[in-house]
């Protein structure tokens, strides 16, 4: 039995289509949000090639993500390693407070913006009450062995990006080993050629596999 996890970052309008696919096939997913960047109306995020990337408005977050796991991705998505202790504390504490207010439940997880973390960042995240953090550095072990961090705090790392050319090979390896397969990405990346069809094919294939089970990140905690 392989446990399958997926996380998607930044709280984008394109997440709406992704959520619909996940619901259609009974797939769990985790969304990592920056509550300080969501405004009263949908807002421009950045430009990617010829396309504008838009963030969801704050008032629609609960409805869009209802039933899914929510993690903090910091308040405003800075490089946390470059901040003063005061600014770092605000990014991790205030994002947790706002997300708990929006979703009316505890927020257990944190995703490092830009995969930037050092000991100060890790300790700030742990001190704010998060139980785990996610990096974006891909590695074979989703739960690293010999972790130096405290028993009340874990770090998880993805097996691969959703667009990895060897996606299914990595999945099959973990399936054979009864392991954990964890992929991540941004929903705007699905807008390329056949991206949405390919995503749904992968979600459907995993959901139909009797040897797989979708999980949330918090379900990996001891």
Q: How far apart are CA 193 and CA 200, in angstroms?
A: 14
Output the CA torsion 96→99→101→103 (10° steps): -140
- Number of independent structural domains in the chain: 1
The range of the structural domain enclosing residue 158 comes to: 2-220
Q: Please tell me the pTM assigned to this model.
A: 0.95
Q: What is the CATH number of the domain that holds 28?
A: 3.20.20.370
Rounded average pLDDT over 91-109: 98
Kindly indicate the confidence band of residue 153, based on its pLDDT and cuts at 50, 70 and 90: confident
Q: How far apart are CA 49 and CA 149, in angstroms?
A: 40
The owner of tokens 């959901």 is: 207
The pLDDT of residue 147: 55
Rounded average pLDDT over 35-40: 98
Output the CA torsion 94→115→21→76 (10° steps): 30
Which tokens in the block code for residue 67?
């039933």
**Element containing residue 72 per DSSP (H, E):** strand 69-72
Asked whether the predicted pLDDT for residue 151 surpasses 70, the reply is no
Name the least confident of 90-104, 130-144, 169-183: 130-144
The pLDDT of residue 49: 87
Phi, psi of 51 (to 5 degrees): -125, 140
Q: How far apart are CA 142 and CA 97, in angstroms?
A: 27
Which tokens in the block code for residue 106?
């505890």
């Amino acid at each position: 039995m392989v446990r399958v996890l997926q996380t998607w970052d930044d709280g984008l309008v394109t997440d709406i289509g992704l959520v619909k696919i996940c619901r259609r096939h009974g797939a769990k997913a985790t969304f990592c949000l920056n509550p300080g960047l969501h405004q009263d109306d949908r807002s421009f995020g950045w430009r990617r090639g010829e396309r504008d990337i838009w963030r969801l408005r704050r008032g629609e977050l609960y409805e869009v993500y209802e039933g899914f796991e929510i993690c903090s991705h910091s308040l405003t998505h800075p490089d946390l390693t470059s901040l003063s202790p005061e600014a770092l504390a605000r990014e991790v504490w205030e994002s947790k407070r706002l997300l708990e207010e929006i979703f009316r439940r505890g927020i257990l997880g944190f995703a490092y913006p830009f995969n930037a973390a050092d000991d100060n960042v890790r300790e700030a995240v742990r001190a704010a009450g998060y139980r785990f953090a996610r990096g974006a550095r891909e590695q074979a072990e989703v739960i690293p062995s010999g972790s130096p961090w405290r028993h009340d705090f874990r770090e998880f790392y993805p097996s691969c990006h959703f667009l990895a050319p060897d996606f299914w090979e990595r999945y099959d390896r973990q399936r054979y080993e009864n392991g954990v397969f964890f992929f991540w990405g941004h929903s705007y990346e699905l807008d390329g050629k056949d991206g949405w069809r390919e995503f749904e094919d992968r979600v459907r294939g995993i959901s139909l596999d009797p040897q797989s089970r979708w999980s949330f990140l918090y379900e990996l905690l001891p």
